[in-house]
Structures are given as structure tokens and as C-alpha cells.
Structure 1
Amino acid sequence: MFKASTYLWCCCLRRCHVQRVRGHPAAALHHLTHFPPNEVDEQVLPFSPTRHYGTGTEDDPFTIYRDPELIGKDNLKRLRFVCISDTHNQIHKIKIPNGDVFVHCGDAVRWSSAARDILVYNEFVGALPHRHKLFIGGNHCVCLDPKRPEQSQKILSNMIYLQDSMTDIEGVQIYGSPWRPKRGIIYPAEAFGYDPTRIREEKWSNIPADIDILLTHGPPYSVRDYHPLTDERIGDPGLLDEVVTRVRPRIHLFGHMHKCRGASLYKSENNQVLEGDHFQPQSNDILFVNLAIHQGKTLGEPVVIDYYY
């Protein structure tokens, strides 16, 4: 069980009030793309898939089924998701493939000019051809008032704004939450920062169980969450525990950690220590994808997912 004592605290310059996790099991993962930096050997697993999952590109999208028993069946419904995060005012430079649902997991702008640039972003997204468009806030979205999500929805008029809320898109249940453990007062880009000792009880425990897709801005602990400046993992252990033991989405999309972009597959059969009493072998495969586009001087590409149900 996650407790406040899971966290250590560092008060060094540039790391003031940055939480450090201790004694919490890490998720064992199969990395499908972009091997993350600083992975430890015991967390990385060899992978011999029984089917092709795809690579997340427009020509070879990730292929995910709501139920493994649907694999190979005919006449299934399909939604194509085109997913990005952390574009930081650069979205106009990105080739965005067509699809059914456009997803942005936060930080469309930079904090210093967020109020102006969020309007430009909204206009750009309004011109995209996707039938459905989803957005959650990120730490740079300081122009969005967490206490007034209805006002944020008015600002983001060309998309569905999710803040601890769910939407149903053609029978697919999607929940979005923008929060992440806060870092302290020295960080100007600190929108949606939350007390890490309370975030699980007050935010993550409210995520509905058995949704299809979860959107967060920050990563769960040990899943593409390495911070090269602090040499630490900064994902949230409470989020990890809720996702893998109770919520069990088929897909979890996030961003925030730019250097850890890419996709990893979580399989219950490899994570008995992490799941504990909730362990159900071969019942909880989750596609985790860090969607961060902005890679310093370069930009990544949107991730494309075909979801069959």
C-alpha cells in the first residue's frame, strides 16, 4: 500500500521539494519503441510476442484489442487515435496523421506565454479533420484554472477538455486527469501540481475501474519517468498502483518526461511482486505510451493507435 513514507524529500537548489521514491516495486516492462535511458536490467524483459503490436506510426499503428478474445474476429469496431503531448507551441511544425480521435496529453504551450498561446493552439486544433479531439492540462498550462474546469472548456472550445472526468466516444470510455506530484515553489511551470502524499487518495482513487483508455500528463512510477537532470524517477507510485491493480485500462497515455518518449507493454504475468494480492496472471496487459513530442531541438512524431472493440 502506498504511504507518505514512500517519499524522501530533497531541498537542494533546483530540486527543492522534489519527491524521491524509496522502497516501491518498479514495473517490469517490454519496451516496444525508443529504449528509455537509465533502465535497470531487472526491469527490462525480453519479448517474444505472439502477434504484431505495431510500432505506433501511421503506416504501422499500435494495434490494441479491448478483449484478447477479439483478436482475429471479423466485423469489429475500430477507432484510430492520433496522440501527442508536450508540443510547447510547436504543433504547427508537426505532421499530424488523420484519424478518428485526436489526443493531446498536456503542455501544448509554454508557461510564460500560455494565456495567449492556448488560443492559438485551440484555433489550430479546430482546423484538424478528426471527428473527436481530447485535451488534458499539463504543468505549463498555467492559464487554465484548476478550480474552474468549465472555464477551461470554454477556452478550449474546439476539443473536449478532461479534468478528472470521462467521455464516451463511440462506445470507448476515456478518462483524463492532469495532476502530478508538485515540485515546489521555485518552479514557474507548476500548474496542476498536487501534494504527493494526498494525490492517490484524492485524485487517482477516483479514476473509474475498467475504462478503455486513461490520459494523464505525468507518468506512473517506473514507467518512462526518468529525469536526467536529477538522475531520479519522478513518476507517481500511487498512480502506478491504481492503474495496474484496480483501473486496468487497455491503454495509458501520458507525457511530461521528454527524454523518455516511447511505448512499453505491461503484462501481469511479469509483475506478481508489484500487484501483490491483486495479481491475476495474463489478465492485465496495458500499453503505456509517453507521447512527449518536444525533444529539445528536434520534434518527434504523433503516435497512432488502432483500438478494436
Structure 2
Amino acid sequence: MAATATAAAASPQSIRTRFLIISDTHNATPQSWSDLTCAFRHPLPAADVAIHCGDLTYSGRLEEYAAAIETLASVDAELKLVIAGNHDMSLDAEYYAERGALRHGRRFDPELPSKARDMWLGPEGAARRAGITYLEEGMHRFRLKSGARLNVYASPYQPEFCYWAFPYQRDEDRFNPAPAEPDPSIKNIATNPVPDFPEVDVMMTHGPPLYHLDRTVSLEDVGCAHLLRAAARARPRLHCFGHIHEGWGAERVKWANGTKGLDLVARTDKFQWNQDAVLQNRAAHVNVSSTESLSSLEFGRETLMVNASIMSVRYKPVNAPWLIDLDLPAAGEQKE
């Protein structure tokens, strides 16, 4: 039975909705409920919407997907949304045709991409049977039992990273429409660009935007500048991602009126958390719904950004899931 208690109406025009967000599990399953040293443990917290931002596996094999589906099937949520990441290589058919033999060696199977696709997208596939919705790049629209509308932009792509899947080059923009006056230094390759505000409630990408929860252990900011511009244009309520394990965290971004460079962001506030509470609750919790009048999110001016990587930089599942409470519009409501 899906959790519904959190979906109480915050106002006649908005509905409080709880999101459970994880990413970069890389085959790890939640630890035993009795392991109080780890927040990523059974049972994962209940929510209205559960989100996995990719890197379900380490190498995109069918048995790895099966384990990920089993974990997600156990989550108490009405809607369960998943995208791929760079390690889920068999879900990128073009990449697997070019580099799958190198990655999988003797276990290379040229039919694996079609088998993987059937597993996640087939009407009788394991994901569908488990109540999981796999999202390909583009817009996806949902209506929750609470009456809330949820418009999601999803993309598994990120700047080329160590020759893994779903890559694009840093001089390629796959998130913004081609400008009227093209920049010769940027190649526009957007086939599914992010829509303008206010079409998007949630952005689900595998990679982070530049300068936001994207700093590596070598102190490099490796997020995507084009993705940041797209987020600034769309101004979603929530932008969740993973990919950079050491970037785990959440921050509140207030958008500026500028259109270039750092002028896109007026202010960024990182959330702090109490580790004892995180361990006890099996999640880091942020409430930016209108039930918290002093900290409610202002749609169109602010976006909550979340890096939900469960794995540490050393591939240990030590990071906590995120529980996010925010307001969604009622379905059928006029655009804000």
C-alpha cells in the first residue's frame, strides 16, 4: 500500500508531496534494518514518489538490473521513477555496440541492449510488473492519487566520463534549444531540450549542473554548464541527480535575472543535517512545502537541488537517501 499521509493539501492550489530520492546504488542493496551505522538500510522510507537518478548497476548486466528492480519493488511509493546512468551501459544501445565488447569481454552479448530494454520498458518486463516506470530522455507527465500534477524532465546523459555510457562532449549542448544567434564554440545537439518555465516540476538527470554538488575529491567542479543554463530557464521545483558520489547533499538555489555565467544564480544555501537523526530516520529530510511557512519553496524563483548518490567515492553505500517534502500543483490547475 502506497504512502498517502504526506499528500495532504497544503492549500487549495497545491498538494504537499513526499519524494524519496536515491542514485548511484551500483548494485548495493539496503543494509539490514539492525545496522544502525548506515542510513541506507531496510526498509527504505515510504513516499508518494520514489526516484532513482541512475547508475543502478556497475556494468549493466541483466542480473544487476534484476537486483535493482527487486530493491525498488520493495519501496512503499505510489509512483517509482528511474533513469539510467553511465554505468547502465546496455541501456545505451549505441554505446554498447561500440564499446560493449571491451567492457564485458567474454560476456559480451550483442542482444543485451534489446534484452535490457525489454526488462525496463517492455509491457511484460520485470520493471513494469514491479510498478516501476523507466524514463527515457524528455518530458513525462503524471497525476497522483492525491490529485497532484507531476511534470518530469528526465535525461541519463552527462559530459563524457572515462569512456562510459550516455556521453556527450563538453562543447555539445543537449539541453537547450538552438539560439537565434549560434555560438560557434558550442554544438547544439538537443533533440529533447528542457522546456521553459513553468512546464517542469522536477528535473531528473544523472549528471549535476556546473557548480552545484558537483565537486570531486580533486576539488574540480565537473558539472555541466549547459545543464545549469537549462535549469535556470526551466526553474523546476526540484532538480535531482547523482553521478558525482562525493557531491552528496542538498542546496536551495535562488535564481537571478541574468542570462549568462554566474549571473544565473543569485544565492545558494546548503542544507545541514543532524547525523544521528539521519541514521535514525534512514534518510536526510528536507521540508520546503508550504507547511513550513518560513522555508517553503518559491516556485519560479527557487529550485531545490539534490545529489542523491548513495555510494561514496570509494564505492561504499554510506550516503543516506533523501526525503523531500514539497508542493505540487493540483492537476488541471492553471499554470503558475
What interval of TM-score do these two structures reach, taking the shorter chain for normalisation?
0.5 to 0.7
Q: How does 1:171-190 map to 2 (within 5 A)?
A: 171-185=149-163, 190=164
- The amino acid of 1:105's aligned partner reads C
- CA–CA distance in 1 between the matches of 2:191 and 2:155? 8
Give yes or no for contact 1:164–1:203 (8 Å, CA) kept in 2.
no
Aligned-residue CA RMSD in angstroms?
Answer: 3.1
Aligned to 2:55: 107
Alignment pair present for 1:235 and 2:223? yes
Taking a change above 3 Å as real, the CA distance of residues 142 and 136 of structure 1, as seen in their structure-2 partners, is same
Could you list the per-position Cα deviations for residues 159-206 of structure 1 after superposition, in whole angstroms to 9, with x for gaps in the alignment?
111111322232111111000011354xxxx11112332233324861
- Measure how far apart 1:150 and its partner are: 5.4
Highest relative contact order (Cα 8 Å, sep 6+), 1 or 2? Answer: 1
Give yes or no for contact 1:98–1:130 (8 Å, CA) kept in 2.
yes
- Measure how far apart 1:115 and its partner are: 2.9
TM-score normalised according to structure 1 size: 0.66
Aligned to 1:65: none
Among 98, 102, 115, which residue is 2:46 paired with?
Answer: 98
**What SS does structure 1 have at the residue aligned with 2:89?**
coil
- CA–CA distance in 1 between the matches of 2:229 and 2:311? 28
Give yes or no for contact 2:138–2:154 (8 Å, CA) kept in 1.
yes
Give yes or no for contact 2:253–2:265 (8 Å, CA) kept in 1.
no
Give yes or no for contact 1:272–1:279 (8 Å, CA) kept in 2.
no
Q: How does 1:292-303 map to 2 (within 5 A)?
A: 292-295=309-312, 296=314, 297-303=316-322
**What SS does structure 2 have at the residue aligned with 1:267?**
strand
TM-score normalised according to structure 2 size: 0.61
- CA–CA distance in 1 between the matches of 2:169 and 2:159? 6
Aligned to 1:288: 305
- Measure how far apart 1:271 and its partner are: 6.6
- CA–CA distance in 1 between the matches of 2:317 and 2:28? 10
- The amino acid of 1:180's aligned partner reads Q
Alignment pair present for 1:223 and 2:212? yes
Taking a change above 3 Å as real, the CA distance of residues 224 and 304 of structure 1, as seen in their structure-2 partners, is same
Taking a change above 3 Å as real, the CA distance of residues 300 and 166 of structure 1, as seen in their structure-2 partners, is same
Taking a change above 3 Å as real, the CA distance of residues 162 and 203 of structure 1, as seen in their structure-2 partners, is farther
- CA–CA distance in 2 between the matches of 1:264 and 1:271? 20
Between Structure 1 and Structure 2, how many residues are aligned? 233
Alignment pair present for 1:213 and 2:179? no
**What SS does structure 2 have at the residue aligned with 1:232?**
coil
Alignment pair present for 1:161 and 2:134? yes
- The amino acid of 1:193's aligned partner reads P
Alignment pair present for 1:196 and 2:185? no
Aligned to 2:290: none
Among 22, 25, 48, which residue is 1:87 paired with?
Answer: 25
Taking a change above 3 Å as real, the CA distance of residues 81 and 178 of structure 1, as seen in their structure-2 partners, is same
Taking a change above 3 Å as real, the CA distance of residues 307 and 269 of structure 1, as seen in their structure-2 partners, is same
- Measure how far apart 1:299 and its partner are: 1.4
- Measure how far apart 1:114 and its partner are: 3.2
- The amino acid of 2:28's aligned partner reads Q
- CA–CA distance in 2 between the matches of 1:204 and 1:227? 29
**What SS does structure 1 have at the residue aligned with 2:75?**
coil
Could you list the per-position Cα deviations for residues 93-123 of structure 1 after superposition, in whole angstroms to 9, with x for gaps in the alignment?
2331001111000111112x63321112112
- CA–CA distance in 1 between the matches of 2:83 and 2:172? 21
- CA–CA distance in 1 between the matches of 2:78 and 2:13? 21
Taking a change above 3 Å as real, the CA distance of residues 279 and 292 of structure 1, as seen in their structure-2 partners, is closer
Among 231, 249, 254, which residue is 1:267 paired with?
Answer: 254
Could you list the per-position Cα deviations for residues 200-244 of structure 1 after superposition, in whole angstroms to 9, with x for gaps in the alignment?
332486112220000000001111111224x42111101111111
Give yes or no for contact 1:241–1:275 (8 Å, CA) kept in 2.
no
Aligned to 1:255: 242
- Measure how far apart 1:273 and its partner are: 6.1
- The amino acid of 1:284's aligned partner reads R
Among 81, 87, 101, which residue is 1:134 paired with?
Answer: 81
Unaligned 5+ segments in structure 1 are 1-60, 62-69
- The amino acid of 1:99's aligned partner reads A
